[in-house]
């Protein structure tokens, strides 16, 4: 299931937690991208989430770039991604370093999430 939201000023955000393993996750990602692009129309789009597939194990990212103009992936081994279309990239999608996901909990440190969240900065306009 992909969750879609249209924000002001017309940017569409799509979030997915794809099924695994890789072949199923790649198909979930492909179908979600198609649904998001259709729903977004000509509006800028960010498709992100735990896609459960990395560029190193699947050609789905090349397909999403070619068919929908979505990209770039967060890294060759990442499974969490923020793929954009119709937006300029200010800071490319980058996984958080391990220390950024650690929080103090009493006398110990806890690491948030079982894999690194991703951050990016985009601006309106593709140039």
* Residue carrying structure tokens 């103009």: 69
Q: Are strands 11-17 and 2-7 parallel, antiparallel or unpaired?
A: antiparallel
Residue 10 has pLDDT above 70, yes or no: yes
* Domain residue extents for the chain: 2-124
pTM higher than 0.85, yes or no? yes
Q: What are the tens digits of pLDDT across the range 28-61?
A: 999 999 999 999 999 999 999 999 999 988 899 9
pLDDT at 111: 86
Contacts 24+ apart (CB under 8 A), 57-62: 57/22, 58/22, 58/23, 58/25, 58/26, 60/26, 60/29, 60/30
What is the rounded CA–CA span in Å between residue 108 and residue 42? 48
8 Å CB contact between 127 and 89: no
Q: What are the tens digits of pLDDT across the range 68-113?
A: 999 999 988 899 999 999 999 999 999 888 888 888 999 998 888 7
């Amino acid at each position: 299931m992909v969750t879609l939201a249209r924000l002001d000023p017309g940017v569409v955000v799509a979030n997915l937690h794809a099924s695994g393993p890789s072949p199923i996750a790649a198909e979930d990602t492909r179908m979600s991208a198609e649904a998001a692009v259709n729903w977004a129309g000509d509006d800028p789009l960010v498709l992100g989430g735990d896609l459960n597939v990395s560029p190193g194990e699947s050609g789905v990212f090349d397909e999403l770039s070619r068919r929908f103009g979505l990209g770039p992936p967060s890294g060759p081994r990442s499974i969490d991604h923020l793929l954009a279309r119709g937006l300029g990239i200010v800071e490319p999608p980058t996984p958080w370093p391990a220390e950024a996901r650690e929080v103090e909990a009493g006398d110990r440190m806890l690491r948030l999430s079982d894999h690194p969240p991703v951050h990016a900065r985009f601006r309106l306009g593709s140039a």
